[in-house]
Chain A
Amino acid sequence: MAIREILEVPDPRLKTISTPVEPHEFGDDLRTLVEDMFETMYDAPGIGLAAIQVGVPKRVLVIDLQPDDPDAPPVECSHDGHKHTHPATKKEPRVFINPVILDPADELSTYQEGCLSVPEIYADVDRPATCRVRYQDLDGNTHEEALEGLMATCLQHEMDHLEGILFIDHLSRLKRAMVLKKLEKIRRAA
Chain B
Amino acid sequence: MIAEIADWVGTALPILLLFPLVWLVGGFLLESIDPRDPRDEPPRTAANALGDAAAWLFVMGLCSYMVVGEWQAQDRSWFWLGLLSLALIEALFKLVSLLREARRLAAQGAPEPRM
Contact = CB atoms under 8 A, between A and B. Distances in A.
Interface string B67-101: 00000000000000000000000000000000000
Given A82-B41, A82-B42, A46 B115 contact: yes
B43 A47 contact: no
B39 A83 contact: yes
Interface residues of B, number: 11
A39 to B, nearest CB: 16
B114 A44 contact: yes
Contacts of A49: 115
Interface of B: 38-43, 111-115
B114 A116 contact: yes
A113 B38 CA distance: 28
Contacts of B43: 80, 82, 84
Contact of B114 (A78, A82, A111, A114): A114
B43 to A, nearest CB: 5
Contacts of A44: 114
25 contacts: A44-B114, A46-B113, A46-B114, A47-B114, A47-B115, A49-B115, A66-B113, A80-B43, A81-B38, A81-B39, A82-B38, A82-B39, A82-B43, A83-B39, A83-B40, A84-B43, A113-B112, A114-B112, A114-B113, A114-B115, A115-B114, A115-B115, A122-B112, A157-B115, A158-B115
A115 B114 CA distance: 5
Interface of A: 44-49, 63, 65-66, 78, 80-84, 111-116, 122, 154, 157-158
User: At the interface, is chain B mostly helix, strand, loop or mixed?
Assistant: loop
Contact of A113 (B40, B42, B115): B115
Nearest to A121: B114
Given A82-B43, A83-B39, A84-B42, A112 B114 contact: no
A171 B30 CA distance: 42
A112 B108 CA distance: 11
Contact of B111 (A65, A66, A122, A154): A122
Nearest to A118: B114
A44 B111 CA distance: 14
A38 B113 CA distance: 15
A49 B43 CA distance: 27
Contact of B115 (A48, A80, A81, A82): A48
Contacts of A157: 115
